[in-house]
């Protein structure tokens, strides 16, 4: 489904025509890029897989005649985060979507510490550096700025069997919802997007088997529509249904329920 004209007009009027999406080579980020491209936004897209990045750039340019800058890099490495900052210095990025991220699952005691640190670097450290940088840059824009952070439903309580992943998203959610208020005086809108399960490359990399999952196209539409409207969006019908059902459960109960859900997602790991 295309974005409605009044949404496109509102976004362009508020934030101008350039946007950045990290992690655009697959899943939610790719759908966000296609949706914004279709709506006439010029894009900076990133990801490690250069072949997929270049193919997406070509698709966006040919189909929607927008300007696209593709910057390949591993954002868990600070040097590549700095490279991204340098390569976008000349652009007036009004919408910055920090979407690149991954998860791990299984027993914390058995986890690979290098993988967990790598996840912390990508999901938290890169998000911190890029939020700080682009927020400062947005202060000089003639229009407003918007920063979107990819949180998750797992951000709102501890989640046994996805312990460190949930903790990284709790960091993102906390950062984003505080900045939402703090940045009102800076004319920067901050949105946390907190999906439930979505059908993307995420589950294979996290070694999770999800029973049901939302379509990333619907998630992308819901996220874009929420920019500038609220501090946190629970995108998609499945996410809303799950959040609604958990709304009366105290935090200690949610930890247990989410732990059971994650146990189901990871039961294939038990030999």
Ligand X SMILES: NC(=O)c1ccc[n+]([C@@H]2O[C@H](COP(=O)([O-])OP(=O)(O)OC[C@H]3O[C@@H](n4cnc5c(N)ncnc54)[C@H](OP(=O)(O)O)[C@@H]3O)[C@@H](O)[C@H]2O)c1
Joined tokens for residue 134: 């682009």
Nearer to ligand X, 93 or 100 (CB): 100
x-marked contacts with ligand X along 32-51 as a string, rule CB under 6 A: ---------------xxx--
Rounded to the nearest 10 degrees, what angle do helices 113-120 and 163-182 cross at?
10
Rounded to whole angstroms, the Cα distance separating 1 from 131 reads: 30
Which of residues 145, 197, 236, 259 is near ligand X by CB under 6 A?
Answer: 197
Closer of 139 and 268 to ligand X (Cβ):
268
Regarding 54 and contact with ligand X (CB under 6 A), the answer is no
| Interface segment toward ligand X; rule CB under 6 A; list 35-43, 72-80, 130-138, 177-185 | 72-80
- Count of Cβ atoms closer than 10 Å to residue 64 Cβ: 17
Instruction: Closer to ligand X by CB, 4 or 267: give it.
Output: 267
With binding defined as CB under 6 A, does residue 227 bind ligand X? no
Smallest gap from Cβ 9 to ligand X, in A, equals 27
Nearer to ligand X, 27 or 259 (CB): 27
Residue pair 82/57 in contact by the 8 Å Cβ criterion:
no
Coil vs helix vs strand at 214? strand
Percentages (nearest 5) of helix, strand, coil residues in the chain: 55, 15, 30
Q: CB 175 → ligand X: shortest distance, Å?
A: 13
C-alpha separations of 93 from 17, 68, 69, 248 in Å: 8, 12, 12, 39
- Hey, which residues between 238 and 267 contact ligand X (CB under 6 A)? none
Binding segment for ligand X (CB under 6 A), chosen from 109-117, 156-164, 175-183, 199-207, is 199-207
The verdict on 9 binding ligand X (CB under 6 A) reads: no
Which residues from 161-180 bind ligand X, rule CB under 6 A?
Answer: none
Q: How many CA atoms lie within 13 A of 153 on its CB side?
A: 26
Task: Report how far residue 98's alpha carbon sits from residue 29's, in angstroms, rounded to the nearest whole number.
Answer: 9
- Are residues 230 and 191 in contact, defined by beta-carbon separation less than 8 angstroms? yes
Q: Evaluate whether 33 touches 56 at the Cβ level (below 8 Å).
A: yes
**How far apart are CB 143 and ligand X at their closest, in Å?**
26
Contact (CB, 8 A) for 10 and 227: no
Stretch of 89-97, 109-117, 173-181, 200-208 lying at the interface with ligand X (CB under 6 A):
200-208
Question: Which parts of 89-128 interact with ligand X (CB under 6 A)?
Answer: 99-103, 122
Query: Binding residues for ligand X, per CB under 6 A?
Result: 23-29, 47-49, 52, 74-76, 99-103, 122, 150, 152, 195, 197-198, 200-202, 205
């Amino acid at each position: 489904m295309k974005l409605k004209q009044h949404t496109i007009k509102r976004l362009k009027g508020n934030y101008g025509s350039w946007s950045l999406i990290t992690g655009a080579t697959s899943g939610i980020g790719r759908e966000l890029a296609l949706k914004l491209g279709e709506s006439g936004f010029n894009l900076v897209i990133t990801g490690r897989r250069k072949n997929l990045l270049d193919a997406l750039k070509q698709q966006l340019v040919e189909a929607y005649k927008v300007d696209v800058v593709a910057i390949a890099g591993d954002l868990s490495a600070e040097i590549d985060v700095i490279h991204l900052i340098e390569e976008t210095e000349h652009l007036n990025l009004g919408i910055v979507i920090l979407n690149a991220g991954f998860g791990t699952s299984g027993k914390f005691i058995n986890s690979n510490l290098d993988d967990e640190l790598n996840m912390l670097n990508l999901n938290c450290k890169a998000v911190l550096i890029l939020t700080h940088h682009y927020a400062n840059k947005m202060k000089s824009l003639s229009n407003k700025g918007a920063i979107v952070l990819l949180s998750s439903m797992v951000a709102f309580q501890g989640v046994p069997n996805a312990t460190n992943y949930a903790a990284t998203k709790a960091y993102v959610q906390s950062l984003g919802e505080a900045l939402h208020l703090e940045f009102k005086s800076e004319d920067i809108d901050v949105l946390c997007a907190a999906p439930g399960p979505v059908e993307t490359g995420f589950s294979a990399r996290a070694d999770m088997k999800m029973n049901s999952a939302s379509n990333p196209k619907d998630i992308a539409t819901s996220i874009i529509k929420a920019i500038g409207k609220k501090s946190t969006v629970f995108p998609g019908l499945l996410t809303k249904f799950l959040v609604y059902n958990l709304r009366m459960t105290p935090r200690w109960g949610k930890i247990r329920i989410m732990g059971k859900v994650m146990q189901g997602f990871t039961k294939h790991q038990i030999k």
